[in-house]
Amino acid sequence: MTTRVAVVGATGKLGRLITEVVSEHPELTLHAGLDSRSALSEVDGADIVVDVTTPTVSPRVVEHALSAGARVLVGSSGWGAERVAELEARVADSGSAVLIVPNFSLGSVVATTLAALAARHFDSIEVIERHRQSKVDSPSGTAVRTAELMAESRRGRGPVAAPHADQRARGELVAGIPVHSLRMDGVVAQQEVVLGGEGEQLRILHDTVSNDAYRGGVIRALEALPSLRGVHVGLDALLGLDRLRLATSGE
């Protein structure tokens, strides 16, 4: 028996790629592909609903999908710690599952894990993220996730050094870490974490040059979702990277 998948936001770049992945996968079937004119009721009957819409639309899609009894894969931005906590309360004890993936690129997930590990050893940390002009939100969900994991990794060490953070040109503070967002031609997606220490700098750079980078993560997420329960953020657990962070945390 195949798993029925509905994609909301199917006409966008990521939505088209996910639709292709579903169509090519032997254990998945496309139940529906929705665009901005579609009624959300079209997802009813799907086993998995994939949301790749916008930060403002995403919560409504997730709520409808859960009410329809589907598991949900969220690829939209805007799911920070506060919104995730609200979703956890909604999903608790329901038997449902929501997997929120800020970035489907396996390399990006590894780079974020490396940044979280390194953040314990540096007090001067900033993030620069670059995306195409058409990306409407900033900072990116990946940058927010990276900053939150670095801040969590630094618990007990104290806040990072972020002088003059009240000046607009210093970026937005996310979990106490300055994040700078560029929106410009000539780039798909790029994130650079810069960590400064006495007499040295460490730069962790991930560059996405094609949307094909997301295929592997999409497949991992769709294959794992039927067996998940509750709310999960990132592909970290699916790749075993959460265990790596825990093993090296000293806790």
Give catalytic residues, as residue numbers. Answer: 131, 135
Give residue 64's identity as a one-letter amino acid code.
Answer: H
* φ, ψ (nearest 5 deg) of residue 73: -110, 115
- Beta partners for residue 182, in sequence order: 130
43 touches 32 (CB < 8 A):
yes
Q: How far apart are CA 32 and CA 50, in angstroms?
A: 10
Give the chain's radius of gyration (CA, Å): 18
Instruction: With H, G, I as helix, E, B as strand and everything else as coil, classify residue 25.
Output: coil
10 touches 34 (CB < 8 A):
yes
71 touches 96 (CB < 8 A):
yes
Burial class (CB in 10 A: 0-12, 13-18, 19+), 202: middle
123 touches 160 (CB < 8 A):
yes
